Copies of this chain bind each other. A is one copy, B any other.
Amino acid sequence: MPPPPPEWVKKLTPSGPQGSELLKQERGRSNLPVEELSTFLFGNEARERKQRILKVLESDEAFDKSQNYFAGRVDRFETALARAKRLAQISAKNNWSYDEHYTAVDLISEPGPYGLHDSMFLKTLQEQGTPEQHKLFLEKARKYEYIGCYAQTELGHGSNVRGLETVAVWDPSDKTFVIHSPHLTASKWWIGSLGRTANHAVVMAQLIINGKPYGPHPFVVQIRDLKTHQPLENIYVGDIGPKFGYNTMDNGFLLFNKVKIPHRNMLARFSGVDPNTNKYIQPSRATLVYGTLTFIRSSIVMQAGGVLARGVTIAVRYCAIRRQFQDRDAKDQRGETPVLNYRMVQVRLLTLLAATYALHFTGKAMMELYQENQKAVNKEKTEESNPRGAGPEETSPGSDLVADLHATSCGLKSLASSTAAEGLEVCRRACGGHGYSSFSGIGPWYADYLPTTTWEGDNYMLTQQVARYLLKAARSVLNGERPTNDTTRILTNFHTKRDIGAAFDIGSKDEDIVAAFAWRTSYLTFEALRHRDVEKKSWNELLVDFYRLSRAHSQYLVVKNFYATLSAGNTRAELSNETTALLHKLFRLYALHTLESEASEFFTSGACTVKQIQLTRATAVMRLLEEIRPHAVRLVDAWDFPDWQLDSSLGRYDGKVYEDMFYRASQLNPLNDVTINPFPNDKTLFQSKL
């Protein structure tokens, strides 16, 4: 570490006004009850849990974050591994629940080498293994005697699972499977926890019996020796190298050269091979398998609001402190203006602040929809009725619920993760030059989050699922079928009123704003349907329309869920009228800003007039920014992020921005230990690269 600074430097303080003073003033200007709102958002139990776990982690040197932004790839990985081990120990010692464990992971806020073991490896063994296989693999895995990963993606194949090249050939002679990689592109790739950590893998491979392919199936394969941790024979495995982010995780590659595994290593709960007849055993319930992806997508939607809120918290606090230039019209020309007072900053940050709340409430609704579906599935499992039995609250056929869940999770995953990722970059830039420093805490967080826009379904690809669902729904409406859910209801409503046209009072009625979003979605749906069914346009030609359609529909869902939350009984019960009123302003800001950003679709569909959009842009949004501005800092405080979690100089709760930047740069920065020879013509020193 660098030497301490001289005395005269230690005496220096920032020129006034001090950041701590400014944030105090900000908090003084608003009477928003932060505690009340936090509790409404997360509940007392979760908030108490976070504080309790935080104490444990903060006091454990294994989780000291001070070198996170400085260390290189290898060091960062080794530190992350040490933390993963420590967390496993603490978790076991305190016998932490799933929620407690993930609260810790969330606070540590870095991808860890046990990440895929704890999630997909255990989950797949659990869900797709037989009771015998649970004994064989799952129990050891739970005790970290087996450490595993989920090996699906390959160098040459991502989203299209059917295109996987790795094969598992059934050998009737000795009742084994031969796992093999016929090509370089068959190499497993991007597999989390595989590069250096895992000794087992669930490998997705094309099952082949007697020369006939049966599609991808899961196989448990040991890949490293349990004593030496060296790769087993005919297995070539390693880390795939540095990435834009996620460098604390050892994403790996994996090749097999005719590796034999016993019959019992094929996860056989849903399908398998009969060792006596050498025949394939048909899968019983494919829907459950595909349920896993839906759960992951729903979780991504659930988390998106919080992911974005970290960036918004940092940017709002710093922009309340950072002062630059003077308002040209300001009477008092002493001192500079906090940048958060500039409309150009407000229109970027406060709209994202509104988006964090919008995404949070939509995430909750998404999860409820998922639970509802699970209930339906379980009900059906116990009843052993039709494979997709109707859910309790759902009068329509269950298939309808499943399809709706699938489309909703695809559309919202795409919109929510794109909004969060792009929003974080907006927050980083809103911090000006200092946003570029790692100490801002936004860049590294953004870089680690980015893959979310690609995995579990690329955000562009996914929109086709939504379009397919909406086109199907629109066809049913044209066939005169009665509405079975909200989607068919809004489509039917549009279809009956389309000639009369709409006249929504978006200026004053919140429910009319929701209706305008529903109208636009419905219009785009029937337009797309006409292109496809009447004009017979190719699917490929329509992909851009489908993307717009999915986006429009998902924005409708977000606006609808936000409005529904504010109208719900428990909201009025848990929140004061002032707080609810402020949330209504955030609702309008999110909805109206979205509306004017997508203006052309709103008036083309006749949902709004050009005049209405001009008024929204020039007046309504501007007024909302002005009204929300005084509450900005308290509204981010309500997200309740501990400084330890944010690990940001700019986002500190106490506003000591410049002191912290300077401390990290001068005292924690290893490069300041290096003395160099700056001259180009010193041959001797040149050899040493210094």
- Interface stretch, picked from A383-391, A432-440, A640-648, is A432-440
Question: How near does chain B come to A91, taking the closest CB pair, in angstroms?
Answer: 9
A77-B671, A329-B538, A670-B74 known; A244 vs B438 contact (CB < 8 Å): yes
User: Is A543 an interface position by the 8 A CB rule?
Assistant: yes
User: Is A240 an interface position by the 8 A CB rule?
Assistant: yes
Of the residues B79, B538, B666, B677, contact of A229 by C-beta under 8 Å:
B677
A618 contact set on B, CB distance < 8 A: 531, 545
- Whether the Cβ atoms of B680 and A144 lie closer than 8 Å is yes
Number of interface residues of A (CB under 8 A): 144
User: Residues 326-350 of chain A: 1 if any B CB is under 8 Å from the residue's CB, otherwise 0?
Assistant: 0111000000100001111101000
- Whether the Cβ atoms of B677 and A15 lie closer than 8 Å is no
User: Is A263 an interface position by the 8 A CB rule?
Assistant: no
Question: How near does chain B come to A94, taking the closest CB pair, in angstroms?
Answer: 14
Within 8 A of B (CB), among A622-648: 622
Copies in the complex: 2
- Whether the Cβ atoms of A14 and B156 lie closer than 8 Å is yes
- Whether the Cβ atoms of B540 and A329 lie closer than 8 Å is yes
A229-B677, A610-B603 known; A75 vs B72 contact (CB < 8 Å): yes
> How far is A608 from B672 in the complex, measured between Cα atoms in Å?
59
User: Is A196 an interface position by the 8 A CB rule?
Assistant: yes
Which residue of chain B has its CB nearest to the CB of A347? Answer: B544
> How far is A213 from B400 in the complex, measured between Cα atoms in Å?
75
- Whether the Cβ atoms of A460 and B678 lie closer than 8 Å is no
A155 contact set on B, CB distance < 8 A: 14, 658, 661-662
Question: How near does chain B come to A57, taking the closest CB pair, in angstroms?
Answer: 16
Within 8 A of B (CB), among A647-676: 658-659, 661-662, 664-666, 668-672, 674-676
- Whether the Cβ atoms of B455 and A433 lie closer than 8 Å is yes
- Whether the Cβ atoms of B680 and A9 lie closer than 8 Å is no
A244-B443, A433-B158, A674-B78 known; A144 vs B679 contact (CB < 8 Å): yes
Within 8 A of B (CB), among A1-57: 2, 5-6, 8-9, 12-15
User: Is A581 an interface position by the 8 A CB rule?
Assistant: no
A347 contact set on B, CB distance < 8 A: 544
- Whether the Cβ atoms of B454 and A433 lie closer than 8 Å is yes
User: Is A539 an interface position by the 8 A CB rule?
Assistant: yes
User: Is A215 an interface position by the 8 A CB rule?
Assistant: no
A544 contact set on B, CB distance < 8 A: 343-344, 347, 622
Of the residues B86, B147, B540, contact of A679 by C-beta under 8 Å:
B147
A443 contact set on B, CB distance < 8 A: 243-244
Which A residues have a C-beta under 8 Å from some C-beta of B? 2, 5-6, 8-9, 12-15, 69-75, 77-79, 81-82, 84-86, 88-89, 113, 144-145, 147, 153, 155-160, 163, 165, 181-187, 189-190, 195-199, 229-230, 234, 236, 238-246, 250, 253, 255, 257, 324-325, 327-329, 336, 341-345, 347, 425, 428-429, 432-433, 435-439, 443, 447, 450-451, 453-455, 458, 460, 531, 538-545, 547, 596, 599-600, 603-604, 610, 613-614, 618, 622, 658-659, 661-662, 664-666, 668-672, 674-681, 686, 689-690
- Whether the Cβ atoms of A681 and B239 lie closer than 8 Å is no
Which residue of chain B has its CB nearest to the CB of A328? Answer: B539
> How far is A558 from B671 in the complex, measured between Cα atoms in Å?
43
Of the residues B69, B236, B336, contact of A6 by C-beta under 8 Å:
B236
Of the residues B72, B81, B244, B328, contact of A71 by C-beta under 8 Å:
B72
- Whether the Cβ atoms of B662 and A253 lie closer than 8 Å is yes
